[in-house]
Amino acid sequence: MQNQNKCLGCGALKQNTDENKVGYVKDLNSSYCFDCFSLKNYGKSKNHFHPDKYLEIKDHSLVLIIQSVMQIDLLFTQPIERIQPNAKYVYILNQVDLLPRDTNLDYLHEKIEKLAKKNKVKFFDIIFMSAINPSDTTNLKRYLMEQKQKDIYLFGYQNSGKSTIFKSLTNNKDVLNLNKAGLTQEIIKSNFLDKTIYDMPGNYISGNLSEIFDYEEYRKLLPSKTIKPKVYQLKENQKLVINDYIEITSSNDVNLVFYINEFSKIMKYNLANLNNYLNLEYEYTSKTFKIGQEKMHITIADLMFIQVSGNTNLTVKLPKKLRLTISESLLK
């Protein structure tokens, strides 16, 4: 049963003394804190909070480490074993419905398993699913019923889909599951048959779109349905500008495959055109990557990832606050 002193949406302890702190309510009898009420009813958020601590996980529990496909560059980077070494770990790659329908999921699963073993990651299973697919959530329920552990924790980075999975498993109608970073503030628990499921606050990772945009803006940039990859040929005398705040140039002609929200804008310009098309509101940094014949995976915040191969030096200019990573591609 939900603690009456906590917000039903994010789990924060309610308080009526400081509207700039988490859990603020005008009336302590309110079901939702002010921020969750605004999100639930108006799709708006005044404040942005990041939980700053890991919470205790019981010994010999089952931990579901949930990762969105848009966070695939962050696979196996969460130090969960330091928190609870005596747990059973199952990795869940969520939002696989965002990947193109012709994606070879067997190949992706094999590559992820190899990566886990290479990095000596402790895991029992790796499961692919979409939290909004009823068939997938039904299969997950059956899977969890077969496990002997009585305590099940949903663990992962912010916006990985933990709360959506939690709602599907427990039929909890009150918890909010919107694409807002740092929405769950305190642990929220519910019964699942003879087990207890805990929805943990999302782990903060710097460099996401929430660093430079308000909720009302960045939620529109997050992919919400199956991505149709966009292929661009970039010549050495050209540049690509994405959404007016990311610029890509290449030392040689190269093909780039973008996995990005369909509403994002990608424009191509000649370098001879000296106009600056970047939004001057931000402070920028540039990073150059040497690309060979091996297919590489470049991730920019939680906005998109790009596949690229070919002998070139690729330069990405973007706001300093956004995360930029490069790794071997896990997609065929």
> Contact 57/153 with Cβ under 8 angstroms?
yes
pTM score of the predicted model: 0.81
pLDDT value at residue 191: 87
Q: Where in the chain is the domain with CATH 3.40.50.300?
A: 54-205
Lowest mean pLDDT among 145-154, 178-187, 199-208: 178-187
Q: Is 277:241 a contact under the CB 8 Å cutoff?
A: yes
Task: Characterize 200-238 residue by residue with b for buried, 16 or more Cβ atoms within 10 angstroms of its Cβ, and e for exposed.
Answer: bbbbebebbbbbbeebeebbebbbbeebebeeeebeeeb
Average pLDDT rounded to a whole number, residues 139-162: 91
CA distance 230 to 242: 12
Instruction: For residue 192, give Cα distances in angstroms to 7, 170, 195.
Output: 21, 6, 5
Q: What is the mean pLDDT of residues 45-73?
A: 78
% of the chain surpassing 90 pLDDT: 52
Q: How are beta strands 254-260 and 296-300 bridged, if at all?
A: unpaired
CATH architecture of 54-205: 3-Layer(aba) Sandwich (3.40)
Instruction: Look at residue 52 in the predicted model and tell me its pLDDT.
Output: 53
Does the pLDDT of residue 148 top 70, yes or no? yes
Given the DSSP bridges, would you call strands 230-234 and 195-199 parallel, antiparallel or unpaired?
Answer: unpaired
Strands (E), 16-99: 62-68, 88-94
Query: Quick one: average pLDDT of 232-240?
Result: 96
Query: Is pLDDT above 80 for 286?
Result: yes
- State the chain's mean pLDDT as an integer: 86
Half-sphere exposure of residue 243: CA atoms within 13 angstroms, side-chain side: 22
Statement: residue 43 has pLDDT above 70: no
Tens digits of per-residue pLDDT, 117-129? 998 888 999 999 9
Residue 125 is predicted with a pLDDT of 96
- pLDDT, tens only, 266-276: 999 999 988 89
pLDDT of residue 283: 96
